[in-house]
Amino acid sequence: MEKTLNWREYIITRLIKASGYSAIIFVLLIFFFLLREGVPALAEVPLSALFSVRWYPIEGDNFGILPLLTGSLIVTLGAAIIAIPFGIGTAVYISEIAPRWMREILKPLVELLGGLPSVVLGFLGILVLAPFLRRFLDLPTGLTAFTGSLLLGGIAVPTVVSVAEDALDAVPRAYREGAWALGATRWQTIWRVTLPAARSGVLTAVMLGIGRAIGETMTVMMVTGNAPVLALSLSSLFSPVRTMTATIAAEMGEVSNGSTHYHVLFFIGMVLFLISLGVNIAASSVVFRAKKRAERILS
Amino acid sequence: MDKIIIEHLSLQYSDGTESLRDVSLGIREKAVTVLFGPAGGGKSTLLRCLNRLNDLTEVKTSAGRILIDGENILDPKTDVIALRRKVGMVFARPVVLPLSIRGNLTYGLELAGEKRKSKLDEAVERSLKLAALWDEVKERLDDPAIALSGGQQQRLCLARSLALQPEIILLDEPTSGLDPISTGKVEAALQELKKEYTIVLVPHSVQQAGRTADYAAFFLQGELVEYGEGKAMFTSPKEKRTEDYVTGRFG
Ligand SMILES: Nc1ncnc2c1ncn2[C@@H]1O[C@H](COP(=O)(O)OP(=O)(O)OP(=O)(O)O)[C@@H](O)[C@H]1O
Ligand SMILES: [Mg+2]
């Protein structure tokens, strides 16, 4: 009896360990694959050409990835500016202000929005949003960075809302009551007690939302116009851009295996990987710090 | 003189629990009134009516009146924020805000719009002295409040509500998590405070009720069973149910 229990214990622990390790191994394998296919780009294209401003890989062997990098950044930045206030605001509304029946409608609705396939949003973007923006803002085309930002913002909002809402929900009721009992208004309590107490969770929500936006491919490919133009000013927010993800998705099917173009696309993949790794590390270090603080408080 | 007059107060939470049933009670000015009884008797519920903290929980029905200085605070037109400054509250578990000691004390005043540093400093010192905490923390007012011991944190919470210069202080089992020495300090502070303030205390034991009560009210399942002077209540209660509880035969 004793013995079989020990065996079971042993096997289960091993299985859990193995699945944990394999997750890490998969990530490493993917990264090594990216490295193997992407690093040769550095040998085949001089660095100065790689970080130049012209991306015309087919006609002229111009492999400047800066337009793609700035394209991704401007679309993501726009999305973040939309998604952060809107997402946190919605989370605060759901967890702090809405009456119970409203909360019970809104929460599943947000989850549902989060599960919407991005190609469907792309459709809406092309058919509804882009023509509307073109007429409303009087632009030559509605397929712009801004259109992409709006849609990506929409994609990031459910992520931000559901993670931030959980964080707010986890703030002990006693904190709020403590503030109310001191004569704080509802708004003062939210702004000065509840949100600061949920800070780390809210930050994680923001990071995850941004991560979601950076990696999004389908929607941006459909609505940003895909022109590889360096996007550095505010006006480029309202002209077509091309993002890193859209470039890889659009061109990977057409390149010949092992060509320079192929290697550069992988190099772009590496850059993307590093960016989202950075975002994730930033997010988890925030959470880690907060955890340590919580442990200190408890002990 | 009665500072608070409760008239026919009934309250039902939205899940159907009837937590207060036709409670009528007068609470004396500048004295300690103790609300005691077994768990679920409605003591916390009554306390939370006195500063309208129950506005924020799901209450199904409530009826009756609560007069403070002659004004019905259950009237929807009451300025709840002003009421909560006038009626301070200390909870069972000290809730220190993630700020410095000083920050915790000035927080309520800052919310009320007080910005003058001299006023704030004055309030910090005055309220800490009232809560018998000044000597222990005067050297480290800018340390994080979370570094204080549990008993000190609880007195900090007391000081925090005193900083707003309330007239009434509600305490809901303020010493339930404290050791006997800290408990003694809080009780001693209350004895000082009652010279200036009206105090309503839910004690965490019958013994504490006996030690602190000028007046006492015994609650059983939402009903006010008996009210009277503290001494009389704990030596010769009129009601059989009170006697059973006080002598430890149930609850
Ligand atoms: N937010 C709430 N929602 C629903 N029912 C509640 C709520 N708060 C309290 N009650 C119920 O109301 C009744 C009285 O509760 P209350 O907390 O006032 O009792 P108490 O006398 O303070 O008890 P204790 O000594 O355990 O603190 C209990 O039956 C309790 O279950
Ligand atoms: Mg209680």
For residue range B113-155, list pLDDT tens digits in order.
Answer: 888 999 999 999 999 998 889 999 999 999 988 889 888 999 9
Calculate how close chain B gets to A297, using CA atoms only, in Å.
Answer: 7
A5 in any annotated domain: no
Is A263 inside a domain boundary?
A: yes
Q: What pLDDT, on a 0 to 100 scale, did the predictor assign at position A298?
A: 44
**In chain B, which residues have their Cβ closer than 8 Å to the Cβ of A196?**
98
A146 residue type, one letter? F
A102/B contact by beta carbon, under 8 A? no
Domain membership flag for residue A110: yes
Looking at all shown ligands, the one closest to residue B38's CA atom is 1
Asked if B108 lies within 8 A of A182 by C-beta distance, the reply is yes
* Domain limits for position A100: 46-298
How many beta-carbon pairs under 8 angstroms link A with B? 55
Counting Cβ atoms within 10 Å, is residue B244 exposed (0-12), middle (13-18) or buried (19+)?
Answer: middle
Length reported for chain B? 251
pLDDT per residue as tens digits for the range A118-142? 888 889 899 999 899 889 988 888 8
pLDDT tens for B50-69 read 999 988 887 878 889 999 99
**DSSP letters for A125-168:** IIIIIHHHHHHHHT-S-S-SHHHHHHHHHHHHHHHHHHHHHHHH
A292 touches chain B (CB under 8 A): no
Q: Which of A105, A80, A77 is nearest to A93 (CA)?
A: A105
Q: Please name the residue of chain B whose CA is at the shortest distance from the CA of residue A195.
A: B98
Separation of CA A168 and ligand 2 centre (Å) = 25
Nearest to A261 by CA among A16, A119, A58, A96: A58
Residue A26 in domain: no
At residue A294 the predicted structure's pLDDT band, cuts being 50, 70 and 90, is low
A3-27 per-residue burial string, b: 16 or more CB within 10 A, e: under 16: eeeeeeeeeeeeeeeeeeeeeeeee
Domains identified in chain A, total number: 1
Residues of A in Cβ contact (< 8 Å) with B91: 174, 177-178, 181
Q: Relative to the CA of B20, which ligand 1 atom is closest?
A: 14
Beta B215-220 vs B223-229: how paired, if at all?
A: antiparallel
Question: How would you list the strands of the sheet with B71-72, edge to edge?
Answer: B18-28, B2-13, B59-68, B71-72
- pLDDT greater than 90 at residue A218: no
Is residue B89 very low, low, confident or very high in pLDDT (cuts 50, 70, 90)?
very high
Taking the model in full, what pTM does it have?
A: 0.81
Check if A191 contacts B (Cβ < 8 Å): no
Grade residue A292 by pLDDT with cuts at 50, 70 and 90.
low
Around ligand 1, the residues with Cβ closer than 6 Å are B 13, 15, 17, 19, 39-45, 57
- The pLDDT assigned to B99 comes to 82
Q: What is the CATH number of the domain that holds A177?
A: 1.10.3720.10
CA-closest candidate to residue A237, choices A128, A76, A51, A119: A76
**B28-31: which pairs have CB atoms within 8 A and are 24 or more residues apart?**
B28/B1, B28/B2, B28/B3, B28/B198, B28/B214, B28/B215, B29/B1, B29/B2, B29/B3, B29/B198, B30/B3, B30/B194, B30/B195, B30/B196, B30/B197, B30/B198, B31/B194, B31/B198, B31/B199, B31/B214, B31/B215
**CB distance B30 to B197 below 8 Å:** yes
Nearest CA to ligand 1 atom 7: B13
Angle at B15 between CA B11 and CA B18, to 5 degrees: 30
| Predicted local confidence at residue B21, as pLDDT | 92
Residue A28 within a domain = no
Task: Please report residues of B whose CB lies closer than 8 A to that of A197.
Answer: 98
- Percent of chain B residues past pLDDT 70, beyond the cut: 99
Q: How far apart are CA A83 and CA A77, in angstroms?
A: 10
What is the pairing mode between strands B215-220 and B32-36? parallel
Of B51, B98, B112, the CB nearest to A196: B98
Tell me which ligand sits closest to the C-alpha of residue B37: 1
B84, B86, B114, B146, best to mutate vs chain A, most A CBs in 10 Å:
B84
Q: Ligand 1, atom 6: nearest CA belongs to which residue?
A: B13
Closest-CA residue to B119 (of B109, B111, B129): B109
- pLDDT, tens digit (0-9, with 9 covering 90-100), for A147-204: 999 999 999 999 999 999 999 999 988 888 988 998 899 899 998 889 988 988 898 8
What mean pLDDT do residues A110-114 have? 89
**In three state form, how does the secondary structure of chain B look?**
CEEEEEEEEEEEECCCCEEEEEEEEEEECCCEEEEECCCCCCHHHHHHHHCCHHHHCCEEEEEEEEEECCEECCCCCCCHHHHHHHEEEECCCCCCCCCEHHHHHHHHHHHCCCCCHHHHHHHHHHHHHHCCCHHHHHHHCCCEHHHCCHHHHHHHHHHHHHCCCCCEEEEECCCCCCCHHHHHHHHHHHHHHCCCCEEEEECCCHHHHHHHCCEEEEEECCEEEEEEEHHHHHHCCCCHHHHHHHCCCCC
Give which of A140, A75, A86, A147 is closest to A113, Cα–Cα: A86
Question: Is residue A2, in this structure, part of any structural domain at all?
Answer: no
| Spatial contact of B137 and A212, defined as CB atoms under 8 Å apart | no
Tokens standing for A223?
């609505």
Ligand 1 centroid to B214 CA: how many Å? 25
CA A246 to centroid of chain Cα atoms = 15
Q: ipTM score of the complex? A: 0.86
A204 in a structural domain = yes
pLDDT at A297 over 60: no
Chain A residues within an 8 Å CB radius of B160: 182
B44, B48, B80, B81: best to mutate for the A interface, most A CBs within 10 A? B81
Q: Which ligand is closest in space to the CA of residue B206? A: 1
pLDDT of residue A252: 87
Instruction: Tell me how crowded residue B59 is: count the other CB atoms within 10 A of its CB.
Output: 16
Q: Do B98 and A185 touch (CB under 8 A)?
A: no
